[in-house]
Structure 1
């Protein structure tokens, strides 16, 4: 009895490895974003709608959140936090290629809502930093300001290229906007990862060195990884593509760990615990 010769399995090309790694990153990001949405809805939703702003004090890592007697400022912070939930939900749908391909009209309208929400998020953030605080601005304020400026710039460029129907140029700007608009999520996920692997090195609440550095890194690092991916995707070098896939893979693993741990912690906060 003879057996059929085995067919050798084809090796994945560098292009395929990069594309599949990016797909895994997107899946992790979408899961993380929707878990973050659940946290925002559960923690900020009831407290903002009922006016129980003091409940935000259970999360001691919140910066410039609840202030006694400051109704307008508290409402602005609540709106800012809830807008991050809209970003998490709408942004996840906006970057899914299946949604863009199957429902282009929804993609266009969702994109408009996302752009308006992102701009509103940046403006409320700037008002909280520069109008609400009478004391001198620290380094984290400049980091948040830089994030807001990038959101406004990328939103304008994404809108302009979409209006011009230059979709090749539009997609990278839309991806950049998606990343910088989700800095709140990256802040929490990255902070959790740092706490796990550094055993608290450089952490003293919102004034710790690690926290201050990460207020810049929460949007600059994702942008750097995206730029590496975009250049590797268009490169003819297999080595460049594999290097980018490796970096993106490490970034994805760290994101997955941070998402899992932060989701566990956020459940405790929503259920009345403190951080």
Structure 2
């Protein structure tokens, strides 16, 4: 059995059985979720393109960007890998893609593991070795290390669980990793909410607003994970009752 299969039966017949076929409504809902994630992921991609344009065009060096000019490689790797991770990862949540093209899901999954690790590790590296930009205090520094490390650990656990054939836990860990990786998109919105609620950010409120981006994404991911687990348990009970009759 291929370690990236969603169901052992996919390796035997190459396609889902009629019983596994998703309804049009569910397939449409999955695509809507994917496009919503793409829109959220577009926000950091735009900022990333801006940063790379600065480096290529030789923009004026300021206290906010001098660390990037001094060592551009980690930033470029982070932006490029995060862009691929955000775009391809969004479609991994569409049930139609997973069931109709399991080979695509497996191949993209391998790419996402590599890109996700580069995103997390480069983020941690930049936090540790880049000079801190103005307004970055110890709390934000700690948050970046915490969530960057959590993303790396989640991807590793997602990989090891699928190696053991545990699809449910694999999905859960990869969903958590993607939620953290997409935190940059939510972090473009949380400061706006903070500005409306409490005014211009301080070092403390700015750090909390950044952390809120990761926490909100993880909270949504955990809600989806728990909902799917409950649905899976209910299906198992129904199958058990049906076979016992």
User: In structure 1, what is the equivalent of residue 23 of structure 2?
Assistant: none
Summarize the Cα distance change of 1:144–1:234 in structure 2 as closer, same or farther, 3 Å threshold.
Answer: same
Query: Is 1:71 aligned to residue 77 of structure 2?
Result: no
- Residue 82 of structure 1: CA displacement? 2.9
Larger RCO of the pair (alpha carbons < 8 Å, separation 6+): 1
Structure 1 unmatched ranges of 5 or more: 1-17, 58-63, 237-275
What secondary structure, in the 3-state scheme, does the structure 2 residue paired with 1:178 have? helix
How many positions carry a matched residue from both structures?
205
What secondary structure, in the 3-state scheme, does the structure 1 residue paired with 2:92 have? helix
User: In structure 2, what is the equivalent of residue 226 of structure 1?
Assistant: 221
Match of 2:51 among 32, 44, 49: 44
Given that 2:30 and 2:96 are in contact with CA atoms closer than 8 Å, whether structure 1 keeps it comes out as: no
Query: Is 1:150 aligned to residue 150 of structure 2?
Result: yes
- Residue 157 of structure 1: CA displacement? 0.8
User: In structure 2, what is the equivalent of residue 186 of structure 1?
Assistant: 186
State the TM-score, normalizing by the size of structure 1: 0.63
CA distance in 2, matches of 1:70, 1:45: 10
User: In structure 2, what is the equivalent of residue 29 of structure 1?
Assistant: 37
User: In structure 2, what is the equivalent of residue 171 of structure 1?
Assistant: 171
- Residue 68 of structure 1: CA displacement? 6.6
State the TM-score, normalizing by the size of structure 2: 0.69
- Residue 26 of structure 1: CA displacement? 4.7
Match of 1:91 among 83, 89, 103: 89
User: In structure 2, what is the equivalent of residue 260 of structure 1?
Assistant: none
Given that 2:151 and 2:180 are in contact with CA atoms closer than 8 Å, whether structure 1 keeps it comes out as: yes
User: In structure 2, what is the equivalent of residue 129 of structure 1?
Assistant: 127
CA RMSD, Structure 1 to Structure 2 (Å)? 3.3
* More deviation, 170-179/133-142: 133-142
What secondary structure, in the 3-state scheme, does the structure 2 residue paired with 1:165 have? coil
